Amino acid sequence: MAVQWAGWSPDVLIRLDRSQPLRVQLESALRDSIRTGQLSPGERLPSSRALATHLQVSRGLVQEAFAQLRAEGYLTTRTGSATRVANVQATQATPPGPPSSRAAPRLLADFRAGLPDLGSFPRADWAWAQREAAKTAATADLGYADPQGAAELREVLAAYLRRVRGASADPKDLVICNGFAQGLILALHAIGVRRVAFEDPGYDAELLAVTDFLGVEAVPVPVDDQGVDVDALRASGAGAVVLTPAHQWPTGVVLSPARRHAVASAGPFIIEDDYDAEFRYDRDPVGVLQGLARDHVLLTGTVSKSLAPGIRLGWILCPPTLTEKVTSLKAILDRGSPHLDQLALAALLRSGRYDRHLRRMRSLYAARRTTLVHTLAAHAPTVRLSGLEAGFHAIAHLPDHLSEADVVAGARARGVALYGMSSHRSDGATSPPQLVMGFGNVPEQTIRETVPLIADLFR
């Protein structure tokens, strides 16, 4: 079908057919029109309802397309105002050349794990919180503030961690940092060990590069269906261990009660990565390990999964003996995280808007989780999913005879990005063949439309 909207310039024509997902086609048409200048900065788009009626598609599909383009910076929306074209530098249209057999197709879906729904970032609430921070900040807050972090944020964050995560949290032991990677650097430097244990499978090479930067030896410790192997941890000789006990990254298993107590008394310092535990579907979120062993657990958390990675705010809840060391290094690195953003996050937490956002996202991710389960069951019943009790990624267990690399490459050739478990294994092993499938930033309709396109690869 082809529709020309009367309010737009005459050259803007949207054509939709059934050759690929409709939402992807609509996004592409709007994106190209903005890039080439056919839609000018500030130009008003029709409402989602009006455009859906003219295109004969669901309003939800149009809203998802608008949300994606807002997240990419092509569109803007203000409360009480229409959706408009953002001020994007128009690019010159390139004359079409002969198709290249080597050119990778544009992605229809990207099942990258660890990425929340960027289109659902609470822009209005964050803008409100930033205005509140700007209005209420003291003049001194605009100078070089406390490198440990804004007292207002540490107070409200400590209360939140006690209430929601079961932590033993004192504001004076919280240090605000710029995300988990910086938190890991601060924690490892403060502990001062030469050997640190990591879960296997666990982080990929990009994050483990932190140990090379610090000159620390990284030792893999195996994980099974009960969590980290405590006997192997004791035998590793590591002076510290990095754990994801509430929702192991990436397998999704929960550290069993017996092993929680065993690891809490095992001896080494524990850096606890509490990355997405608020999003639990089968029961209340599992409390943090730090509540059992305050004196030797450094609890790290961020808003990268709950809000968006671009906020770049996180925290370390330190043992009292390490707080000063962590704060001193933070002061050396950057003199503290952006103070006004800290005040904005404090306002968001204090107002209840943060909790409201989490409730909404929990419902959204649960729906996408259900859609992924049902769609795979219908089109690829030989694929088993695990690790679905929390978060927004799952482990897809492929039939043993399949090659993980072949499935990933075959899907990419069809415009679907999949990721193998091998990049999370210390030895890079591709057996058993598994995929780490993130659905946080993949709308339900996209899951329904793209899984059938690659289902034969799973057979």
> Which amino acid appears at position 231 of this protein?
D
Cβ atoms within 10 Å of 247's Cβ, excluding its own: 26
Query: Tokens 């996209």 map to which residue?
Result: 446
Name, of 69-73, 126-130, 285-289, the range with top average pLDDT. 126-130
What pLDDT was estimated at residue 441? 97
pTM: 0.77
Q: Quick one: average pLDDT of 279-290?
A: 87
Per-residue model confidence as pLDDT tens digits over 223-234: 999 999 999 999
H helix runs in 36-141, sequence order: 48-55, 59-72, 123-136
| CA diameter of the chain | 72
Give residues with Cβ within 8 angstroms of 230, minimum separation 6: 259, 262, 263, 266
* pLDDT on residue 47: 82
Contact indicator for 344, 130 with CB cutoff of 8 Å: yes
If one compares 37 and 306, the residue with the highest pLDDT of the two is: 306
- Distance CA(171)–CA(346), nearest Å, equals 13
Q: What percent of the chain has pLDDT over 90?
A: 70
- Please report the pLDDT score of residue 82 as a whole number: 74
The DSSP symbol for 288 reads P
C-beta separation of 300 from 187 below 8 A: yes
Kindly report, residue by residue over 91-115, the tens digit of the pLDDT. 334 444 444 445 556 889 999 999 9
Give percent of the chain above pLDDT 70.
91
Q: pLDDT tens, 65-91?
A: 887 787 767 888 765 567 888 876 543
pLDDT at 264: 87
| Cβ atoms 231, 202 nearer than 8 A | no
| Helix/strand number for the chain, H first, E second | 14, 17
Q: Is residue 366 scored above 60 in pLDDT? A: yes
Quickly count: other Cβ atoms within 10 Å of residue 389's Cβ: 17
Query: What are residue 437's phi and psi, to 5 degrees?
Result: -105, 110
Question: Does residue 266 register a pLDDT over 90?
Answer: no
The pLDDT score that the predictor gives to residue 152 is 97
Rounded to a whole number of angstroms, the distance between the first and last alpha carbons of the chain is 34
Mean pLDDT of the residues in the chain: 89
Confidence of residue 16 (pLDDT cuts 50, 70, 90): low
Q: What is the pLDDT of residue 7?
A: 44
How far, in Å, CA of 140 to CA of 142, rounded? 5
- The pLDDT tens digits for 188-225 are 999 999 999 999 999 998 888 999 889 999 999 999 99
What domains, with CATH codes, occur in the chain?
2-93 (1.10.10.10), 110-120+358-458 (3.90.1150.10), 123-355 (3.40.640.10)
